[in-house]
């Protein structure tokens, strides 16, 4: 069964971040957000290290940490992508729970 969270203006940035990170650390999810150019994107992504190739889990951060942006592993592009936390409309768990143990 899929778990879906829809965000609205009542959610603070910290509440959004906590919810996103919690779901993404244990699942592959679809995050729906508005891109900077105003278009909508549905991105399959994760923070679960079991779904990220080992060589890319090593820290290679070159930009300073921005608390209003979340970097995630995009499973269809097979690379790191990021989005503004306040632009997220929803997150939906798409991978079944059994995938967590593969």
pLDDT tens-place string over residues 40-64: 999 999 999 999 988 765 556 566 7
Tokens of 81: 């992508």
Under the banding of pLDDT at 50, 70 and 90, the label for residue 100 is very low
**Does residue 96 have a pLDDT over 70?**
no
**Does residue 97 have a pLDDT over 80?**
no
Other Cβ atoms less than 10 A from the Cβ of 94: the count is 17
Beta carbons within 8 Å of 1's beta carbon, 6+ residues apart? none
Beta-bridge partners for 74: 45, 79
**Residue among 98, 93, 86, 96 nearest 30 (CA):** 93
Residue 99 burial (10 A CB sphere; 0-12, 13-18, 19+): middle
Average pLDDT, the chain: 88
Q: Considering the entire predicted model, what is its pTM?
A: 0.85
């Amino acid at each position: 069964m899929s778990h879906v969270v829809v965000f609205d203006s009542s959610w603070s940035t910290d509440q959004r971040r906590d919810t996103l990170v919690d779901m993404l650390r244990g699942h592959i999810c679809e995050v729906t957000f508005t891109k900077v150019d105003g278009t909508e994107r549905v991105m399959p992504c994760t923070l679960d290290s079991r779904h990220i190739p080992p060589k890319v889990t090593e820290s290679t951060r070159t930009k300073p940490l921005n608390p209003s942006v979340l970097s995630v592993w995009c499973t269809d592009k097979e690379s790191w992508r990021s989005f503004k936390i306040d632009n997220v409309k929803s997150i939906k768990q798409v991978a079944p729970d059994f995938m967590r143990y593969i």
